[in-house]
Amino acid sequence: MTIELNVGDAAPDFDLPTDDGRVSLAALKGKTVVLYFYPKDDTPGCTKEAQGFSAAAADFAAAGAVVVGVSKDSVARHARFKAKYDLDLTLGSDADDDVIERYGAWVEKKLYGREYMGIDRSTWLIDGGGVIRQIWRKVKVPGHVEQVLAAVQAL
């Protein structure tokens, strides 16, 4: 069953392990949070997306936002991914799909006629009060970081 969250809803809390500790929505209270879900570390689209968010890290910080990427990959894999591409962002490990499911990003997908469950590349803009302000689903990587940054700056 897919959970349906909408703009204006309270963002579900999360508390995930990272390569340098933990990241939680509660600890980020008062800050704008860009929470993005992606399928897998070190794959072409996911690498480009992470590099884009990393390259714009200073711009997001200047706008008062924190960027958090989430996938099912392990903390160790996230650490290798960040080191390999010199990424400047926080990556949370959701190995048991809990947060991914609470945000409705665990969806049925089709590829070459085969159906399977996977992560919907999606981004959630959450304001400092924990309210969802914008949602991007089925994200196409080119131009996405710029769209999200513009939305953050418009808050």
DSSP 8-state assignment for residue 52? H
CA distance 65 to 78: 21
Rg, the chain, Cα only: 14
Q: Is position 46 annotated as part of the catalytic site?
A: yes
Q: Order of strands across the sheet with 122-126?
A: 90-93, 65-71, 32-37, 122-126, 132-136
Point out the catalytic residue in the list 46, 56, 132, 151.
46
CA distance 150 to 123: 14
Phi then psi for 122, rounded to 5 degrees? Answer: -145, 155
Q: Which of 83, 77, 73 is nearest to 37 (CA)?
A: 73
Task: Enumerate the active-site residues.
Answer: 46
